[in-house]
């Protein structure tokens, strides 16, 4: 069977061509393309291209009749049908147009559940109702009149434009789904009759294309992505965005898949949508073309995006996403901060290097933790969480729960990037479905050396890459010659929790870690020795230095909150520090989203703790009477402090150790325990 790709790319030297030349070439390609074994019938895009080129109707009508006989594809059926309506309005026979119009009554397309689905749905609905503005409700699939449909569609389009320009896209920077944002905007730009709608569509085209242009290297989308499929993660040119890079910027040669190998479904044509943009009449501004092609000077690009809408397990609807990309002529390094920012298809970080042929593929290096779970899916999808995993696997995402998958985010990862240096930290709890980390090392690496210092040095193209794993690993051979770095990761060993005095109701078990009795009480600036429960050979955490910050809420007086530094001390090791924080919300201490797990005993007990600027009347003031039940802090927080053996002393900046849990607490005016309550072990420090 022949290769399902073109025998040779169109425009082998695309940089020598103009946008007008590439525009005409892509229209001609789809106007002359014939059905083959991989795509047994022509699609609406080929039909529209033939109508646009005024080809004979005798060759067009048989293909169109086959398409109208079995409508399918939901919103992916809607947008090419709209294109055929408008392009063929003056050429198709009246009976064919009437048959096409009637299918908007008899076929009910699914609106979808993602951002690109809704944009395709409402842009197509707006345009088809614009063509038949006076048709009543009984002539439409949803039982609404054309005017009602237009009002609803325009309302969503205005909402999406406002949300995207203010807070970013939810499906941000997706090499696979970029075509399904450019396509509805191109249709609105080409066929919307309202000048305001057409103008906003043109502005959004500029906005989305400029956002795409700055993150491309030789036409390949580089960096971190919200959604991408496994195959085009490794062979980046297979994404539909590469064909748009050729059309708009003349970078990578035009070489579309004859059939999309990712999702071979009816009407699903990411590469073919380039013809829709070409027929729309849109041309990119010159400044955007220069942004996409000028790589003479390395630059750092920082962006803020957002997650898609969260419906469970989150205090915010759209969490911010912070994306960083460092671009050079030879390579690009990109990342987001880590965590579950998108379900199923997140791509957190990577290094992508330039090659002589962008279609060579496999020019990328990255790592991931293959996480999956009902909580991740339930956060973003409305169905019953425990049923979602099976539903996702059956719906074209069959690698989601596999241990060897190459896409997906993890709640146990954090990423920090400075220019072209990336630090990726994983803290995977014991009992997680898969407790290992996978690293992708391509077959195209020309050199790979494992130094005895622990560094792995590799060369891809003209770029040298140094990778330092913080845990033991082994190599596994992948099909095609790729290598997988397999690192069985374990969470840092925690001490066993113990209770003090009699059992009672307690706000959180994490407050009852008992530190080693022999540990002295160090100062905040003193370097702490390794905990006694860590043997020299015990696995260590990815980061061995930390800083915790307690963020206070508002007091009853309504004053603004201020951060309370609890402790800052380096543990044994030289790994970079990681900023952590916890928030006081309501009656308990809970970790803030996208940060590391709760603190250990070492974090809380084995330090000297300070309370800066705790004065009467401050928004975070904590005062106590002899009953210990008055002040600005929630009672549960005071209980946690007392259960740990810590109470805040009044009129002092230092936290003092009180009597063991279960005894009453009394604080004198001078902030010291009464003489009869002082004990030698309290003066010695943490026990």
Q: For residue 478, give the DSSP letter.
A: P
Can you give the pLDDT at residue 42?
Answer: 82
Angle 115-351-403 (CA atoms, 0-180°, nearest 5)?
A: 70
- Greater confidence (266 vs 182) lies with 182
User: SS3 of 647, please?
Assistant: strand
Angstrom distance (rounded) from CA 452 to CA 442: 22
* Residue in 485, 487, 488, 486 with CA at minimum distance from that of residue 441: 485
Angstrom distance (rounded) from CA 447 to CA 280: 46
Angstrom distance (rounded) from CA 126 to CA 424: 45
Mean pLDDT of 383-391: 89
Can you give the pLDDT at residue 266?
Answer: 56
Instruction: Say if residue 3's pLDDT is above 80.
Output: no
Can you give the pLDDT at residue 269?
Answer: 83
Query: If pLDDT is split at 50, 70 and 90, which confidence band does 393 have?
Result: confident
Q: For residue 462, give the DSSP letter.
A: T
Strands (E), 447-521: 447-450, 456-460, 463-467, 474-477, 483-488
Q: Which of 32-36, 512-516, 677-681 has the highest mean pLDDT?
A: 32-36
CB 542 within 8 A of CB 425: yes
Instruction: Say if residue 631's pLDDT is above 50.
Output: no
Angstrom distance (rounded) from CA 673 to CA 663: 13
324-328, 366-370, 381-385: range with lowest mean pLDDT: 381-385
Host H or E run for residue 656? strand 655-657
CB 277 within 8 A of CB 247: yes
Domains within the chain, CATH numbers bracketed: 4-294 (1.50.10), 300-493+526-539+617-643+664-685 (no CATH)
Compute the Cα dihedral for 160, 241, 251, 275 and give only its sign: negative
Can you give the pLDDT at residue 70?
Answer: 87
Instruction: Say if residue 495's pLDDT is above 70.
Output: no
> In whole angstroms, how far apart are CA 330 and each of 295, 446, 482, 490?
9, 15, 21, 36
CB 592 within 8 A of CB 414: no
* Residue in 288, 289, 365, 298 with CA at minimum distance from that of residue 330: 298
CB 410 within 8 A of CB 427: no
205-230 per-residue burial string, b: 16 or more CB within 10 A, e: under 16: bebbbebbbebbbbbbbbbbbbbbbb
- Greater confidence (161 vs 600) lies with 161
Can you give the pLDDT at residue 2?
Answer: 38
Can you give the pLDDT at residue 649?
Answer: 42
Mean pLDDT of 416-444: 94
Can you give the pLDDT at residue 639?
Answer: 46
CB 447 within 8 A of CB 462: no
Query: If pLDDT is split at 50, 70 and 90, which confidence band does 367 have?
Result: very high
Mean pLDDT of 402-430: 94
Q: Could you tell me which residues are beta bridge partners of residue 388?
A: none
**Tens-place pLDDT, residues 517-538:** 444 444 444 444 444 433 444 4
- Greater confidence (284 vs 678) lies with 284
Query: If pLDDT is split at 50, 70 and 90, which confidence band does 40 have?
Result: low
193-207, 328-342, 384-398, 410-424: range with lowest mean pLDDT: 384-398
Query: Per the structure block, which two tokens stand in for 321?
Result: 């996403």
Q: Could you tell me which residues are beta bridge partners of residue 465?
A: 458
In whole angstroms, what separates CA 496 from the centre of its chain? 35
Residue recorded with tokens 């960083």: 324
Angstrom distance (rounded) from CA 348 to CA 441: 16
Angstrom distance (rounded) from CA 275 to CA 93: 24
Whether pTM > 0.75 for this model: the answer is no
Can you give the pLDDT at residue 221?
Answer: 97
548-557 per-residue burial string, b: 16 or more CB within 10 A, e: under 16: bbbebeebee
Instruction: Say if residue 279's pLDDT is above 70.
Output: yes
Angle 682-684-687 (CA atoms, 0-180°, nearest 5)?
A: 70
Mean pLDDT of 248-259: 80
CA torsion, points 527, 528, 534, 535, in degrees to nearest 10?
60
273-282, 407-416, 421-430, 577-586: range with lowest mean pLDDT: 577-586
Angstrom distance (rounded) from CA 119 to CA 153: 9
Q: For residue 474, give the DSSP letter.
A: E
Instruction: Say if residue 282's pLDDT is above 80.
Output: yes
Can you give the pLDDT at residue 482?
Answer: 95
- Greater confidence (625 vs 317) lies with 317
> In whole angstroms, how far apart are CA 228 and each of 176, 280, 301?
6, 27, 21
**Tens-place pLDDT, residues 122-162:** 999 999 999 999 999 999 999 999 999 999 999 999 999 99
CB 45 within 8 A of CB 60: no
Residue recorded with tokens 């019938």: 41
**Tens-place pLDDT, residues 290-311:** 999 999 999 999 999 999 999 9
Query: Per the structure block, which two tokens stand in for 525?
Result: 């600036």
**Tens-place pLDDT, residues 46-91:** 999 999 999 999 989 999 999 999 898 899 999 999 999 999 999 9
Mean pLDDT of 656-679: 45
Can you give the pLDDT at residue 455?
Answer: 95
How many Cα atoms occupy the beta-carbon half-sphere of 136 within 13 Å? Answer: 1
Angstrom distance (rounded) from CA 633 to CA 623: 8
Q: Which segments of 168-258 does DSSP mark as H helices, in order?
A: 179-191, 195-213, 230-234, 240-249
Mean pLDDT of the chain: 76
* Residue in 253, 252, 256, 261 with CA at minimum distance from that of residue 229: 261
Query: If pLDDT is split at 50, 70 and 90, which confidence band does 436 have?
Result: very high
**Tens-place pLDDT, residues 105-114:** 999 999 998 9
Query: If pLDDT is split at 50, 70 and 90, which confidence band does 558 have?
Result: very low
Can you give the pLDDT at residue 397?
Answer: 86
Query: If pLDDT is split at 50, 70 and 90, which confidence band does 609 have?
Result: very low
Can you give the pLDDT at residue 265?
Answer: 60
Query: If pLDDT is split at 50, 70 and 90, which confidence band does 276 have?
Result: very high
**Tens-place pLDDT, residues 203-215:** 999 999 999 999 9
CB 195 within 8 A of CB 168: no
Instruction: Say if residue 20's pLDDT is above 60.
Output: yes
CB 157 within 8 A of CB 248: no
Angstrom distance (rounded) from CA 97 to CA 503: 78
Host H or E run for residue 274? helix 274-280
């Amino acid at each position: 069977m022949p290769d399902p790709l073109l025998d040779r790319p169109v425009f082998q030297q695309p940089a020598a061509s103009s946008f007008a030349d590439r525009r005409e070439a892509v229209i001609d390609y789809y106007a002359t393309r014939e059905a083959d074994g991989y795509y047994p019938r022509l699609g609406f895009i080929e039909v529209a291209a033939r109508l646009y080129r005024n080809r004979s109707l005798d060759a067009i009508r048989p293909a169109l009749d086959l398409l109208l006989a079995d409508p399918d594809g939901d919103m992916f059926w809607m947008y090419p049908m709209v294109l055929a309506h408008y392009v063929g309005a003056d050429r198709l026979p009246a009976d064919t147009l009437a048959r096409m119009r009637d299918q908007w009554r008899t076929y009910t397309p699914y609106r979808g559940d993602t951002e690109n689905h809704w944009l395709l749905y409402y842009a197509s609905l707006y345009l088809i109702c614009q063509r038949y503005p006076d048709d009543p409700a009984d002539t439409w699939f949803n039982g609404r009149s054309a005017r009602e449909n237009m009002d609803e569609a325009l309302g969503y389009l205005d909402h999406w434009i406002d949300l995207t320009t203010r807070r970013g896209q939810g499906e941000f920077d997706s090499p696979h789904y970029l075509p399904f944002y450019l396509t509805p905007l191109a249709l609105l730009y080409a066929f919307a009759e309202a000048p305001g709608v057409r103008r906003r569509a043109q502005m959004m085209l500029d906005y989305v294309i400029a956002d795409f242009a700055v993150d491309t290297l030789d036409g390949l989308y580089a960096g971190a992505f919200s959604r991408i499929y496994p195959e085009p993660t490794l062979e980046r040119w297979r994404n539909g965005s590469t064909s748009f890079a050729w059309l708009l910027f003349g970078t990578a040669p035009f070489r579309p898949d004859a059939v999309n190998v990712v999702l071979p479904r009816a009407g699903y044509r990411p590469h073919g949508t380039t013809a829709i943009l070409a027929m729309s009449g849109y041309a990119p501004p010159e400044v955007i073309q220069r942004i996409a092609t000028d790589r003479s000077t390395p630059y750092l690009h920082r962006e803020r995006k957002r997650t898609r809408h969260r419906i469970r397990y989150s205090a915010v609807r759209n969490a911010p996403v912070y994306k960083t990309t460092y671009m050079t002529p030879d390579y690009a390094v990109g990342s987001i901060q880590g965590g579950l920012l998108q379900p199923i298809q997140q791509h957190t970080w990577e290094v992508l290097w330039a090659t002589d042929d962008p279609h060579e593929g496999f020019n990328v290096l990255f790592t991931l933790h293959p996480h999956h779970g009902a909580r991740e899916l339930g956060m973003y999808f409305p169905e019953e969480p425990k049923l979602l995993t099976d539903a996702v696997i059956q719906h074209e995402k069959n690698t989601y729960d596999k241990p060897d998958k190459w896409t997906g985010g993890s709640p146990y990862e954090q990423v920090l990037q400075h220019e072209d240096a990336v630090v990726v930290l994983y803290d995977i709890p014991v009992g997680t479905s898969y407790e290992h980390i996978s690293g992708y090392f391509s077959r195209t690496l020309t050199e790979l050396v494992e130094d005895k210092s622990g560094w792995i040095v590799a060369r891809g193209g003209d770029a040298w890459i140094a990778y330092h794993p913080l845990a033991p690993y082994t190599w596994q051979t992948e099909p095609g010659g790729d290598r997988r770095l397999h690192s069985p990761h374990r969470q840092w060993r925690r001490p066993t929790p113990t209770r003090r005095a009699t059992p009672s109701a307690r706000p959180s078990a994490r407050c009852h870690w008992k530190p080693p009795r022999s540990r002295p009480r160090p100062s905040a600036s003193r370097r702490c020795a390794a905990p006694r429960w860590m043997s020299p050979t015990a696995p260590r955490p990815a980061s061995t230095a930390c800083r915790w910050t307690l963020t206070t809420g508002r007091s009853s007086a309504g004053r603004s909150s201020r951060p309370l530094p609890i402790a800052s001390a380096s543990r044994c090791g030289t790994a970079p520090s990681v900023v952590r924080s916890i928030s006081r919300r309501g009656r308990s201490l809970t970790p803030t989203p996208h940060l590391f797990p709760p603190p250990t005993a070492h974090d809380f007990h084995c330090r000297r703790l300070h309370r800066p600027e705790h004065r009467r009347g401050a928004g975070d003031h904590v005062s106590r009477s002899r009953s210990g039940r008055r002040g600005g802090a929630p009672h549960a927080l005071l209980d946690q402090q007392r259960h740990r053996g810590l109470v805040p002393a009044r009129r002092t900046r230092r936290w003092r150790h009180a009597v063991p849990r279960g005894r009453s607490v009394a604080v004198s005016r001078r902030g010291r325990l009464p003489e009869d309550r002082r004990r030698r072990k309290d003066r010695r420090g943490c026990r």
